[in-house]
Structure 1
Amino acid sequence: MDKKKLKIAIFTDNFFPAVGGTENAVYNLATALTELGHEILVVAPNYKNADDSKYIFRVFRKSSIKIDANNNYALPFFNKKLYKVLDEFNADILHCHSQASMLSLAIKYGKKHKLPVVSTIHTKFSYCYKDSAKLNIIVKPMLKSIGRKLKQVDRVTAVSYSMADEFKLYGYNGQFDVIKNGLSINSFKPIEIENIAREKYKLKSTDNIFIFVGRITKVKNISFILDTLQKLKEKGIKFKMFIVGEGGDLPYFKSMAKEKNIEDMVEFTGKITDKHLLASLYYNSNLNIFPSIFDNDSLTIVEAAMYGTPSITLMNTGSSERITDGQNGYIVQNNANKMAEQIAEILKDKNRLKIVGENAKNELVKSWQDVTQEYLAIYYEILNQKKTI
Structure 2
Amino acid sequence: MDKRLIGLFNDGFPPIMDGVSLTVKNYAYWLNQKNENVCVVTPKIPGTQYTEKYPIYSYTSIPIPMRKPYRLGFPRIDLPFYEHICQKPFSLVHAHCPFSSGELAMRIAHSQHIPIIATFHSKYRDDFKRIIPNKTLLALLIRKIIRFYEAADEVWIPQAAVEDTIREYGYKGKVEIVDNGTEFSGSANILTLKSDMRKELNITDQELMFLFVGQHIKEKNPELIIDALSLIREKPFKMFFIGSGYAEKELHEQVKSLKLTNKIKFVGNLTDREQLKRYYAAADLFLFPSLYDNAPLVVREAASMQTPSLLLSGATSAEIVKDMQNGFLSGQSVSEFAQKLTYLIQSPEKVRQTGIAASNTIARSWENVAEEVQDRYKSLLKRYA
> TM over 0.5, yes or no?
yes
Partner of 1:378: 376
User: Partner letter of residue 287 of structure 1?
Assistant: L
Partner of 1:128: 127
Partners of 2:60 and 2:273 in 1: how far apart?
Answer: 32
Partners of 1:178 and 1:78 in 2: how far apart?
Answer: 35
> Could you tell me whether the CA contact under 8 Å between 1:17 and 1:49 is conserved in 2?
no
Partner of 2:73: 74
CA deviations on 1:335-379 (whole Å, 9 max, x unpaired) are 222222122222222222211111111221101112112222322
Partners of 1:91 and 1:328 in 2: how far apart?
Answer: 41
Which piece of structure 1 moves more, 198-207 or 150-159?
Answer: 198-207
Does residue 149 (structure 1) correspond to residue 148 (structure 2)? The answer is yes
Distance 1:279-1:31 versus aligned 2 partners, 3 A rule:
closer
1:195 CA displacement: 4.3
1:134 CA displacement: 5.2
1:202 CA displacement: 1.8
Partner of 2:22: 24
Does residue 210 (structure 1) correspond to residue 215 (structure 2)? The answer is no
Does residue 59 (structure 1) correspond to residue 56 (structure 2)? The answer is yes
Partners of 1:47 and 1:55 in 2: how far apart?
Answer: 15
Distance 1:260-1:162 versus aligned 2 partners, 3 A rule:
farther
> Could you tell me whether the CA contact under 8 Å between 1:193 and 1:276 is conserved in 2?
no
1:84 CA displacement: 4.0
Partner of 1:201: 201
Q: Secondary structure at the match of 2:364?
A: coil
Partner of 2:240: 242
Partners of 1:343 and 1:263 in 2: how far apart?
Answer: 19
Partner of 2:228: 228
Distance 1:373-1:76 versus aligned 2 partners, 3 A rule:
same
User: Partner letter of residue 284 of structure 1?
Assistant: A
Partners of 1:342 and 1:123 in 2: how far apart?
Answer: 28
CA deviations on 1:311-351 (whole Å, 9 max, x unpaired) are 11112223212212211111222122222212222222222
Partner of 1:335: 333
Partners of 2:199 and 2:97 in 1: how far apart?
Answer: 41
Distance 1:12-1:253 versus aligned 2 partners, 3 A rule:
same
> Could you tell me whether the CA contact under 8 Å between 2:289 and 2:312 is conserved in 1?
yes
5 Å-filtered alignment, 1:75-224, equals: 75=74, 77=76, 80-133=79-132, 135-185=134-184, 187=187, 189-190=189-190, 192-224=192-224
Partners of 1:79 and 1:350 in 2: how far apart?
Answer: 56
User: Aligned pairs, how many?
Assistant: 382
User: Partner letter of residue 358 of structure 2?
Assistant: A
Q: Secondary structure at the match of 1:334?
A: coil
Q: Secondary structure at the match of 1:246?
A: coil
Partner of 1:46: 44
Q: Secondary structure at the match of 2:119?
A: strand
1:82 CA displacement: 3.8
User: Partner letter of residue 211 of structure 1?
Assistant: L
Partners of 2:230 and 2:135 in 1: how far apart?
Answer: 32
1:19 CA displacement: 2.4
Partners of 2:226 and 2:298 in 1: how far apart?
Answer: 18
Distance 1:298-1:227 versus aligned 2 partners, 3 A rule:
same
CA deviations on 1:277-327 (whole Å, 9 max, x unpaired) are 433332222211111111111121122112211111112223212212211
Partners of 1:284 and 1:79 in 2: how far apart?
Answer: 45
Partners of 2:78 and 2:59 in 1: how far apart?
Answer: 9
Partners of 2:343 and 2:192 in 1: how far apart?
Answer: 31
User: Partner letter of residue 39 of structure 1?
Assistant: N
Partners of 1:87 and 1:107 in 2: how far apart?
Answer: 11
CA deviations on 1:181-217 (whole Å, 9 max, x unpaired) are 1111373524653344333332112212111111111
Which consecutive unaligned segments of at least 5 residues does structure 2 have? Answer: none
Partner of 1:282: 280
> Could you tell me whether the CA contact under 8 Å between 1:94 and 1:117 is conserved in 2?
yes
Q: TM-score, normalised by structure 2?
A: 0.92
Match of 2:270 among 249, 269, 272: 272
1:141 CA displacement: 1.1
Q: Secondary structure at the match of 1:92?
A: strand
1:23 CA displacement: 1.1
Distance 1:188-1:6 versus aligned 2 partners, 3 A rule:
farther
Distance 1:222-1:354 versus aligned 2 partners, 3 A rule:
same
Partners of 2:271 and 2:384 in 1: how far apart?
Answer: 45
